[in-house]
Amino acid sequence: MIPILVTGSNGQLGNELRCIAGNYPAYGFLFTDVNELDITNATEVLFFFNQYKPSFCINCAAYTAVDKAESDMEKAFLLNADAAANLANAASKFKTKLIHISTDFVFDGRKSKPYLEDDLTAPLNIYGKSKLRGEEMCLTENHETLILRTSWLYSPFGNNFVKTMQRLGKEKTEIGVIYDQVGTPTYAHDLANAIMEIITGKHSDTSGIFHFSNEGICSWYDFAVAVMTLSDLNCRVKPIETMDYPTPAKRGHFTVMNKKKIKEAFGISIPHWQESLKKCIERIDYDKTN
């Protein structure tokens, strides 16, 4: 069996990888979270890699509380940068292919067309700065690292925008959602499938930065309306401006990412966000009744 180490496996992407692991009998998955492997401890990481010698490492671990990061900078950088560097260093020493998950928050959102992988980065908040530092440290420690930037991740697992909208849609008759921040939702299940397509494909040794989200673009308002509609919730969604909903962390107004590079490099087909949202909500409904 080809061993694949998955860090942060209790999160959204890690759980989706658990769901599809059975489709890959030639691969042995090592699903870990902080209780099994503390990736902030460089010695522990090296010991783990030496013991299990993974062929691939998918780093799903991250500090993702965007607003909280503004007052918790040390922990954000520890998990998003230092820990990523520990994995990259170990991956380099043990010839492991590291796939590191990053974010659209590395951009300032001031462009008017989708961001390319080599566009100028200029994060607006601590979370984005810590993730950008993680990218830089990964590529410094191990230039063979493959970095996947994604955006607006959601799934049936954990806390995310879709589940929050469903909860609010049941509790309230009207909510306000920001319409002047535009991006693309990403169904974690689609990202998990894309990662496995990369690992099992002909070009699994490819390195560098790639963008992955679902196809299409929308605002948070559009996304919320779609959630309410597909969930059969009679909650009116009112469009509001960013200035009407101040948050500790600044956010960009346009962070759509161009995905031409990943599609051409790996032959990946990416579903539209509306199609994937429908599938996710169907899964959530199924899980509630079974």
Catalytic residues: 127
In sequence order, what E strands does the chain have? 2-7, 27-31, 56-59, 97-103, 146-150, 153-154, 174-178, 182-183, 186-187, 208-211, 218-219, 236-240
CA atoms within 13 A on the CB side of 5: 29
Hey, what amino acid is at 81?
Answer: A
Q: b/e for 165-201, b at 16 or more Cβ within 10 A?
A: bbebbeeeeebebbbebbbbbbbbbbbbbbbbebbee
User: What six digits make up the tokens of 29?
Assistant: 């998955």
The CA distance from 101 to 59, in Å, is 6
Q: How many angstroms separate the CA atoms of 269 and 79, rounded?
A: 31
User: Computed over its alpha carbons, how large is the radius of gyration of the chain?
Assistant: 19
Both tokens of 196, joined, read 């496995």
Residues 135, 186, 99, 69: is their CA dihedral positive or negative? positive
CB 30 within 8 A of CB 6: yes
**Nearest partner of 104 among 84, 73, 132, judged by Cα:** 132
Measured distance CA(128)–CA(283) in Å, rounded: 30
